[in-house]
Structures are given as C-alpha cells and as structure tokens.
Amino acid sequence: MKIRSILQDYHEICERRYNGDYDAVCMILDLHTAIETANLTDRQRQILNLTYLDGQCFGDERGGQAELADYLGVSRQYISATLSRVRRKLQEPYGEEAEYDYY
C-alpha cells in the first residue's frame, strides 16, 4: 500500500487499532517509525500533522490544501509540493510496491 493511502485512512486505522486489530497496530507503528526516521523539517512535520494526523485535519484534497495554506500564510502550491516531498520520504521504508491488506 502506498503511504498516501495509509495517511488518508489514518483515523480509520487508529479506530481499528483501538478495537484490537493487530494489523492496524502494526501499520500505525510502522508509520510513526517512518515519520521519526524520515528527517523531516519542522515545517514538513507541521504540514504532515495538520493535513493527516491531527484531529482538525485540513485534508489532502485541493480545498483542504488551500485552507491549510491560508492558515499558515503560504501558497497552496507550497503545501502541495511539501506534501509530495513528505510522502516520498515516508514511502522509502515501505518500498514502491509495499502493500498492506487492511480492508
């Protein structure tokens, strides 16, 4: 599974983890390990958290990126480019064709 899918489904995967789903626990642990080892800048980490991980979640779609850009005082293109770099860094430990079956 691509990292983007894991990030987009993060809250659903967390809910499954709380309900005892062992695969969800592994995915969340792997994701957090990838985040810790990806050498993200503070700004990249902030954008990652606000887009996918925090409760307020601006979201990955264009509208969410525009809202986040306004919130941070940057362009939507900057948000989009930063998210692309972050996802690329996070995908590295998984490999290009890594898959998780979690449905």
23 membership: H or E segment, kind and range: helix 22-37
pLDDT digits (tens, 9 = 90+) for 86-98: 999 998 877 765 5
pLDDT digits (tens, 9 = 90+) for 55-87: 666 776 767 899 999 999 999 999 999 999 999
CA distance linking residue 20 with residue 9, whole number of Å: 17
Report the share of the chain in percent with pLDDT over 70.
86
In sequence order, the 6+-apart residues with CB closer than 8 A to the CB of 22 are none
User: Which domains, from first to last, does the chain contain?
Assistant: 3-93 (1.10.10)
Question: Please, where are the H alpha helices in 49-95?
Answer: 62-72, 76-91
Backbone torsion region of residue 59, taken as left when φ is above 0, otherwise alpha when ψ lies between -120 and 50, otherwise beta? left
